[in-house]
Amino acid sequence: MRDKRDAFMRLVGARPVVMGILNITPDSFSDGGRFQSAEAALAQARKLAEDGADIIDVGAESTRPGHTPVPADEEWRRLEPLLARLLAQTDLPFSIDTYKADIARRATALGVCVINDVWGLQKDPAMGDAAAQSGAAVVVMHNRDTVDPDLDIEADMRRFFDRSLALADKAGVPRALIMLDPGIGFGKNKAQNLAALAATARLRAAYGLPILIGVSRKKLFGDLLGATVENRLIATLAANLTTLARGASIFRVHDAAEHVAAFKVFEAIERA
């Protein structure tokens, strides 16, 4: 696991990193129910790998607005039949999209090398210790229970990240293994989502940590353009290229091949 973790972390910062999304959930907003069977999940993992993804992010609980929380035993029941097979049959590193320490421990014990916590180590008090003991890298995402339209979202993100990093330090998670995610679509309105994306360069400068952007097919683009979920690829590419130019490093996406191509063009122009 640590070899794959270290190879992944070396890649972060060397070039734009594509994190492919694999939801094995019945209710995710974009692809819920499509990859619940073992064969469908394995086929999608192979497709993401063939399309150029650098890492695959597996989640068994939807965290979309209004989702129904899933108990840990149900989350693991969804994951257990698939995770070992995915790891064995796909050469890429994997991350686990969970905010539960028990799920993180079980997944990393199988070989998952990144914990992607949508509550930034703050929902489950045991998550910091689970991350430290596993040796996994960690994505700390900003989140809120409610939307407050009067909130300075950048200031709130900094308060949140400061607390998450303090928890990581206390648990013994090395800073070199931490990435930050502004949490687009989580506890923010349209203006705050845009402000969070616009803050990419300042967050990168303030913390000196890689920034992960997860905007793939999100409601923000429906609000901006009236686009349906199936017609949000161009908007997703535009947002990801804009934040890449502002210093973001990792991009969590449904459409790996299109992002690999776009990032190659971006890098070619930058090097010219």
pLDDT at residue number 35: 64
- Report the alpha-carbon distance of residue 197 to residue 162 in Å, rounded: 18
What is the average pLDDT across 102-112? 97
User: Residue 23 pLDDT > 80, yes or no?
Assistant: yes
Per-residue DSSP letter, 152: -
User: Residue 155 pLDDT > 70, yes or no?
Assistant: yes
> What secondary structure does DSSP assign to 30-98, as a single string?
TTTTTT-SHHHHHHHHHHHHHTT-SEEEEESS--STTPPP--HHHHHHHHHHHHHHHHHH--S-EEEE-
User: Residue 38 pLDDT > 50, yes or no?
Assistant: yes
Question: Closest by alpha carbon to 237, among 43, 18, 50?
Answer: 18
What is the average pLDDT across 49-74? 87
Question: Which of 39 and 218 is assigned the larger pLDDT?
Answer: 218
What distances in angstroms separate CA 155 from CA 59, 162, 170, 180, one per listed residue?
A: 29, 11, 23, 15
- What is the chain's mean pLDDT, rounded? 94
Let me know if 242 is exposed, middle or buried by CB neighbors in 10 A (0-12, 13-18, 19+): middle
pLDDT confidence band for 28 (50 / 70 / 90): very low
- Report the alpha-carbon distance of residue 122 to residue 127 in Å, rounded: 8
Question: Closest by alpha carbon to 140, among 86, 190, 95?
Answer: 95
pLDDT at residue number 125: 98
pLDDT confidence band for 36 (50 / 70 / 90): low
Residues 6+ apart with CB under 8 A from 68: 27, 62
pLDDT at residue number 65: 63
What is the average pLDDT across 255-265? 98
Residues 6+ apart with CB under 8 A from 232: 216, 217, 218, 221, 222, 225
pLDDT at residue number 32: 46
Active site residues: 218, 252
What is the average pLDDT across 46-50? 96
- Report the alpha-carbon distance of residue 256 to residue 53 in Å, rounded: 6
215: number of CA atoms within 13 Å, CB side? 29
82: number of CA atoms within 13 Å, CB side? 25
What is the average pLDDT across 51-59? 97
What is the tens place of the pLDDT at every residue in 62-99?
A: 776 666 788 999 999 989 889 999 999 999 999 999 99
What is the tens place of the pLDDT at every residue in 172-210?
A: 999 999 999 999 999 999 999 999 999 999 999 999 999
What is the average pLDDT across 108-119? 98
The alpha carbon dihedral of 258, 259, 264, 267 has a sign of positive
pLDDT at residue number 71: 92
98: amino acid identity, one letter: T
pLDDT confidence band for 216 (50 / 70 / 90): very high
User: Residue 30 pLDDT > 80, yes or no?
Assistant: no
What is the tens place of the pLDDT at every residue in 246-256?
A: 999 999 999 99
pLDDT at residue number 70: 87
User: Residue 160 pLDDT > 90, yes or no?
Assistant: yes
What is the tens place of the pLDDT at every residue in 4-13?
A: 999 999 999 8
pLDDT at residue number 29: 44
* HEC secondary structure over 200-243: HHHHHHHHCCCEEECCCCCHHHHHHHCCCHHHCHHHHHHHHHHH
Residue 141: strand pairing partners: 181
The residue extents of the domains of the chain are: 2-271
- Report the alpha-carbon distance of residue 120 to residue 164 in Å, rounded: 6
CATH number of the 2-271 domain = 3.20.20.20
Instruction: Say which residue the tokens 């303030």 belong to.
Output: 206
